[in-house]
Structure 1
Amino acid sequence: MNYVIHGATGAQGAPVAAALAAVGTPVIALTRNAGAVVAGAQVRAVDLRATDALADAYRGADGVFVHLPLGRQEDRLRHALSIVAALNAARPGRVVFSTSGGTPVEFADRAVTAVIDGLKQSGLSHAVIAPRLFLENLLLPPVVTGAREQGVLCYPLPADHPVSWTSHLDVADAAVALFGRPDVTGLIEVGLHPAVTGPELAEAFAARLGHAVTYETLIPAAFGDSLAPLLGTEVAAGLVGLYDFLGTLPDNAIAPDRSAQVLLGLHPRTTLRWLTESVR
């Protein structure tokens, strides 16, 4: 068996590649950097706009893990269409696609929708992982530094807005499980249930850091300003738009009947467990 993993040097793909390689499964790690090194994997540099090169990488694979990188919407849509065309040409045994979170899937952008629709029309065995917000977002320097040094966890969501937070590691667990579960198809939502509010996040930070931490709602525009030096102005502006929109929703919680808990028997890390594993 062999598996092709998109973004295998990044936050989402790396734990999937590592989990497969750890049990001796052959892995082809797709990256945009020809000089990248991925432990236990064969690295292959591929331009996401190059349909023929992608199809060549997918051909003969038992499974492909796909997610779209951040970027301009027109670039993401071009990547999505290229990936779908390559999957149709190569016909791998199984495709697992992560929406990469953010909004509920019904509000996903055109690029994510293009991949989901393309998979439905392809006839390929596939599953779509739909996380919401990633716990790793809370490790962004402007966020975690405030909790450490000022005892204030600032985030651009209302305090009473429940979110089914999840970790990249939980998505990787679901992806690996789905490769071995062709009977599970369609949408699989990954995240905490019940969903967690801002003050509950702060309680977990307080338990991990050993001092009081309170939650404070940050204006999305201010969040974007703090992230622009790290992520670039265009990506930061996109995040401002995302959190402005999320703030209009009553929650960002998964549907229990489509959850990884029910469909795969997987239980995502609690906030405190994740903090214990991630924050030193």
Structure 2
Amino acid sequence: MHVVLGANGRAGGEAAYALIKRGEAVRVVLRRKEQGEKWIALGAEISVANIEDADAMADALKGASGAFLLNPPPVSGDPYARTEELGAALADAARRARLPKAVVQSSIGAQHASGTGVIATLNRFEALLDGVAPATAFLRSGYFVETWSEVAETVMSESVLPTFLEPSQKIPMVSTIDVGRAAAAVLCEDWTGKRVVELGGPKDWSADDVAAAFAEVLGRPVKSMLVPPEQRATLLAEEGVPAEVADALLGMYVGIANGLFMRQNDREYRRGTISLTAAIERVIATVKPAGRSSSAE
């Protein structure tokens, strides 16, 4: 039985789907029982628990052969303080449940303790969960292609791709489909000790490449547009992003621009199979162009 956290999110959902497709027994951990209908229909078990509740999480992890663990994206408060609290609670729960195997979602660039904004929270998350199970793997993924869905409405209505990334800078990006498949694959492998598995797409991509993929799918030109650094905090504030979260997110883009979002040459590295065009096609299929969005990636 594999336990999956964050099943209603991007990475967790794809990990659960991939495990089910492999014929594995899956238990998804959700905040509310009513969120579980689709998973029950797919044959998964449901456990209701708050990830910050060590007692409830220990119960959810009991009897598992392995688990996919993650630090959910911050939505409010201090992301760094929240990581400390959540990581400590989750580590306590895993040890109390005697979890034998863990795959922990992380990010490329998490080797850096500072200078990477919100990614630095995953450096700390890795430290808190290091050794949480006899077999522990940290899955450091590239920039999620599906994150571009946050500006897809703007692309579709204006043929412009707003970006906080320097348009020509290629970085590791990956579809969350590949993230889920990689997580499932590692969970089903046998090993002991600590592993760091870095994951990217078939090749590294830039914002210009993303714009070209949108253009291919939409059948018309799309141009990337760099949002100046001095305008970014205002844009995030207009989108309702709290100041502490915005600071962490903006710090990530500074780290990327400074070349810190890079693989480590001595780490295990895998590439997924989902093309950029296929991932963007899926993004467009899930977006209804109901007006302009001003957020940027």
TM bucket (normalised to shorter chain) is: 0.7 to 0.9
Task: Report what 1:64 is aligned to.
Answer: 67
Task: Report what 1:75 is aligned to.
Answer: 82
Give 2:218's aligned amino acid.
L
Alignment of 1:234-253 (within 5 A): 234=243, 235-247=245-257, 249-250=258-259, 252-253=261-262
Give 1:21's aligned amino acid.
I
Q: How far off its partner does 1:7 sit? A: 1.1
Report the RMSD for the aligned CA atoms in angstroms. 2.5
Q: How far off its partner does 1:258 sit? A: 3.5
Unaligned runs of at least 5 residues, structure 2: 114-118, 286-297
1:7-43 CA distance string (max 9 Å, x none)? 1112221111122233443222112223312423222
The question of whether the paired residues in 1 share the 8 Å contact of 2:102 and 2:135 is answered with yes
Partners of 2:45 and 2:265 lie apart in 1 by: 37
Distance 1:157 1:89, change over 3 A: same
Q: How far off its partner does 1:220 sit? A: 4.4
Give 2:139's aligned amino acid.
I
Distance 1:25 1:180, change over 3 A: closer
Partners of 2:247 and 2:229 lie apart in 1 by: 9
SS at match of 1:30: strand
Task: Report what 1:91 is aligned to.
Answer: 98
Q: How far off its partner does 1:215 sit? A: 1.5
Partners of 1:27 and 1:255 lie apart in 2 by: 32
Task: Report what 1:51 is aligned to.
Answer: 54
SS at match of 1:216: strand
Between the two structures, name the one with larger relative contact order (CA 8 Å, sep ≥ 6). Answer: 2
Q: Find 2:218's aligned residue among 209, 214, 218.
A: 209
Instruction: Name which of structure 1's ranges 2-11 and 145-154 shifts more when overlaid on structure 2.
Output: 145-154
Q: Find 1:197's aligned residue among 206, 220, 225.
A: 206
Task: Report what 1:145 is aligned to.
Answer: 153
Task: Report what 1:158 is aligned to.
Answer: 166
SS at match of 1:162: coil
Q: How far off its partner does 1:139 sit? A: 0.7
Q: Find 1:276's aligned residue among 275, 281, 284.
A: 281
1:26 maps onto 2:25 in alignment: yes
Give 1:29's aligned amino acid.
V
SS at match of 2:162: strand
Give 2:216's aligned amino acid.
A
Unaligned runs of at least 5 residues, structure 1: none
Q: Which has the higher strand share?
A: 2
- Length-normalised TM-score, structure 2: 0.81
Distance 1:123 1:4, change over 3 A: closer
Distance 1:104 1:16, change over 3 A: same
Distance 1:181 1:221, change over 3 A: farther
Task: Report what 1:186 is aligned to.
Answer: 195
Q: How far off its partner does 1:276 sit? A: 2.8
Q: Find 1:124's aligned residue among 131, 134, 142.
A: 134
The question of whether the paired residues in 2 share the 8 Å contact of 1:132 and 1:166 is answered with yes
Identity across aligned pairs (percent)?
23
Q: How far off its partner does 1:187 sit? A: 1.0
Partners of 2:248 and 2:109 lie apart in 1 by: 16
Q: How far off its partner does 1:257 sit? A: 6.1
Instruction: Name which of structure 1's ranges 109-118 and 51-60 shifts more when overlaid on structure 2.
Output: 109-118
The question of whether the paired residues in 2 share the 8 Å contact of 1:80 and 1:112 is answered with no
Task: Report what 2:289 is aligned to.
Answer: none
Task: Report what 2:295 is aligned to.
Answer: none
Distance 1:93 1:25, change over 3 A: same
Partners of 2:157 and 2:121 lie apart in 1 by: 39
Partners of 1:123 and 1:195 lie apart in 2 by: 32
Q: How far off its partner does 1:254 sit? A: 3.2
Give 1:80's aligned amino acid.
G
Distance 1:86 1:240, change over 3 A: same
